[in-house]
Amino acid sequence: MRIAIPKERRPHETRVAASPETVKKLVNLGCEVVIEKGAGTAASFTDMAFKDAGATIAKDAETACKDAAVIFKVQKPIVGGKDDEIGKLAKGTVIISITDPYRSAKEIEAYAKADLTIFAMDFVPRITRAQSMDVLSSQSNLAGYKAVLDGAAVFNRAFPMMMTAAGKINPARVFVMGAGVAGLQAIATAKRLGAVVLATDVRPASKEQVESLGGKFVAVEDDEFKQAETAGGYAKEMSDAYKKKQATLIAETIAKVDMVITTALIPGRPAPVLVTADMVKSMKPGSVVVDLAVETGGNCELSQPGKVVIKNGVNIVGHLNMPGRLATDASDLYARNLFNFFELLFDKENKALSIDWNDEIVKGTCVTHEENIVHPALAHAKEPAKPATKTSASADAAKDADPAVETGEKEGGKA
């Protein structure tokens, strides 16, 4: 069975969907792995390293994907235009990628029309059995780490306290908004650099996590706050009175710190504004805001996607694709996530796809199948066909399939 890994073509994407380590594992399973020339260059994975691991290097994406039963990608396939990635794929081709389904309605419809089976890695259920496949966690972890380093790069002071012959340098004060995977890593990284770290989150359980990393938890800890979490670990809607008290405390905190790192995302919706223009104005000159949600609207009212801007003397960092700024490690972790997920779909004895539609990870991740949108969280979803408990496919079936019709235009977890 052939697996293809094409080069990523979306702007700002430096990652690749395989590493020499996972290529070797796929080959050991009995798969043929074909990688487009230069696919791993931006992540420091050479063609020779992939070849030594057992992959075949193809001259272009079309050659790599020809006759492939499965395609591994980082970002969802491009639909339409000169970089179209689905027009020449065989019907029934399985594509596994980060798909951003909530914001990709037109593309999802095109994938269904082209009869592609799409698995969205960003929809992997957050259950214990799927932890090794959780791309949101693996990539957010790196994003939180890099956010601190990018903030430090434009901060014109040192992070740790220093005692020198010329006098003492006070430690930087860093405020992390959101204590999910990215936020907790940002707390740990800032602490390691010697900063005094404060953090906030809407979930009371986060207090213990923040304090375990050496941070100080910032929240109005009244009776309402103590009851602000469901049995499943999610935040409850707070009263207007509580929101007002919390907003006042946050504004006071932001005015006193040197750096703010925001990490709040809501699946399928624009990022909530946490840092207003007035809050930025209250910050000391030379302070920094790093907005990890800039690609979905931004947590800071003044952040701009892909730019570092200065407003009222405050540096506001809005880099795109933060995990991609650590392309080697991000690709390495993502490739392992993909391999672990792929093992669910693969029959090792028959060396072919064998998709168990009753598996909760498979059901929770599949977006399109047999010309239908099948994920229940998406509009017009239909149940995937179940001719038996499992659906088998092979490379030979992919070879015999008709070409797909070319189409036109193209994070709720706890942490």
Known catalytic residues are 126, 131, 134, 137, 234
Determine the pLDDT at residue 223. Answer: 80
Helix (H, G, I), strand (E, B) or coil at 97: strand
58-66 long-range Cβ contacts below 8 angstroms, 24+ apart? 58/4, 58/34, 60/36, 61/6, 61/7, 61/9, 61/36, 61/85, 62/88, 63/34, 63/36, 64/4, 64/5, 64/6, 64/34, 64/35, 64/36, 65/4, 65/6, 65/34, 65/89, 65/93
Tokens of 196: 């005094």
Confidence band of 11 (pLDDT split at 50, 70, 90): very high
Beta sheet of 314-317, edge-to-edge order = 216-217, 196-200, 173-177, 259-262, 288-291, 314-317, 308-311
End-to-end Cα, the chain, rounded Å: 36
pLDDT band of 258, cuts 50, 70, 90: very high
- Burial per residue of 21-60, b for 16 or more beta-carbon CB atoms within 10 angstroms, e otherwise: ebbebbeebebbbbbbbebbebbebebeebeebbbebbee
Quick check: 153 pLDDT over 50? yes
Structure tokens at 164: 């020198």
Q: Report pLDDT for 407.
A: 28
Which residue in 6, 298, 325 sits closest to 143, CA to CA? 325
Please answer whether residues 154 and 308 qualify as being in contact, where contact means their C-beta atoms are separated by less than 8 angstroms.
yes
Q: What angle do CA 394, 399, 404 make, to 5 degrees?
A: 110
Mean pLDDT in the chain? 90
Task: Give me the pLDDT at residue 401, please.
Answer: 32
Neighbour count for residue 400 (Cβ, 10 Å):
10
* pLDDT tens digits, one per residue of 66-107: 999 999 999 999 999 999 999 999 999 999 999 999 999 999
Q: Facing residues of 56 across strands?
A: 34
- In angstroms, how far is CA 192 from the centroid of its own chain? 24
pLDDT at 253 over 70: yes
Alpha carbon distances (Å) from 370 to 92, 105, 114, 404 = 7, 17, 9, 12
For residue 260, give the H/E element and its range.
strand 259-262
Q: What percent of the chain has pLDDT over 70?
A: 89
Average of per-residue pLDDT across 110-139: 96
Q: Residues 154, 158, 160, CA angle at the centre, nearest 5°?
A: 135
Q: Report residue 196's pLDDT band, with 50, 70 and 90 as the boundaries.
A: very high
Does residue 361 contact residue 129 with C-beta atoms inside 8 Å? Answer: yes
For residue 411, the model assigns a pLDDT of 35
pLDDT greater than 50 at residue 394 = no
In this prediction, residue 395 carries a pLDDT of 36
- Order of all β-strands in the sheet with 390-393: 346-347, 352-356, 390-393
CA angle in degrees (0–180, nearest 5) for 117-118-119: 125
- Other Cβ atoms closer than 10 A to 326: 20
Q: Confidence band (pLDDT; 50, 70, 90) for 415?
A: very low
Q: What is the pLDDT of residues 365-391, one digit of tens each?
A: 999 999 999 999 987 656 655 544 344
- Residue 414: is its pLDDT beyond 70? no
Give the pLDDT band of residue 409 (cuts 50, 70, 90): very low
How far, in Å, CA of 287 to CA of 155, rounded? 7
Provide the 10 A C-beta neighbour count for residue 225.
19
Burial 375-393 (b: 16+ CB within 10 A, else e): beebeeeeebeeeeebbeb
The amino acid sitting at 311 is K
